[in-house]
């Protein structure tokens, strides 16, 4: 596992600058929604997933290192978390600054990874 949770895995197939917005998101046990926003900023890479009707429109932040594989042909992002883990994750709050270390810390703690 990549020690930096906010960095994309080298073997994920993600290429810097790829626009993932609108890509389907697949958990280990099925689809969970679409990418609503993402960043590949060094040290602060993440996806915001719009879970739609699956969990009533909740938006969830996933650290970049949770991405197992990006399939550009199918426009799908595969993550290494279950639907239940994603459903129980802290909700992404639009008014918060995602790059704020104290805000990101809650996600690092939830995903059981050290915050870098």
Residue with token string 């590949």: 40
Coil/strand/helix, residue 104: helix
- Looking at the domain assignment, is residue 28 inside a domain? yes
- The percent of residues in the chain predicted with pLDDT above 90, rounded, is 44
Distance from the first to the final alpha carbon of the chain: 14
- Looking at the domain assignment, is residue 12 inside a domain? no
Query: ∠ CA(92), CA(77), CA(57), 5° rounding?
Result: 35
DSSP track, 63-110? EGGGEEEEETTTTEEEESS-HHHHHTSPBP-TTS-TT-HHHHHHHHHH
- Looking at the domain assignment, is residue 61 inside a domain? yes
- Looking at the domain assignment, is residue 4 inside a domain? no
- Looking at the domain assignment, is residue 10 inside a domain? no
- Looking at the domain assignment, is residue 19 inside a domain? no
Q: What is the C-alpha separation between 89 and 83, in angstroms, rounded?
A: 10
> What is the extent of the structural domain holding 38?
24-110
pLDDT score, position 97: 59
pLDDT above 80: residue 112: no
The structural domain count of the chain equals: 1
pLDDT tens, position by position, 31-84:
999 999 998 887 778 899 998 766 567 889 999 999 999 999 999 999 999 998
Coil/strand/helix, residue 55: helix
- Looking at the domain assignment, is residue 67 inside a domain? yes
- Looking at the domain assignment, is residue 11 inside a domain? no
Report the CATH number that the domain containing residue 63 is assigned in CATH: 2.30.30
pTM, whole model, 2 decimals?
A: 0.84
């Amino acid at each position: 596992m990549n020690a930096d949770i906010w960095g994309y895995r080298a073997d994920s197939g993600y290429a810097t600058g790829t626009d993932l917005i609108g890509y389907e998101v697949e958990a280990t046990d099925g689809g969970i929604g679409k990418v609503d926003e993402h960043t590949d900023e060094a040290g602060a890479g993440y996806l915001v997933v719009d879970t739609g009707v699956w969990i009533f429109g909740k938006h969830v932040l996933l650290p970049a290192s949770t991405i197992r594989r990006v399939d550009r042909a199918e426009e799908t992002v595969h993550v290494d978390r279950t639907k239940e883990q994603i459903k129980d994750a802290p909700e992404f709050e639009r008014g918060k600054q995602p790059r704020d270390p104290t805000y990101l810390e809650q996600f690092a703690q939830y995903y059981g990874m050290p915050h870098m």
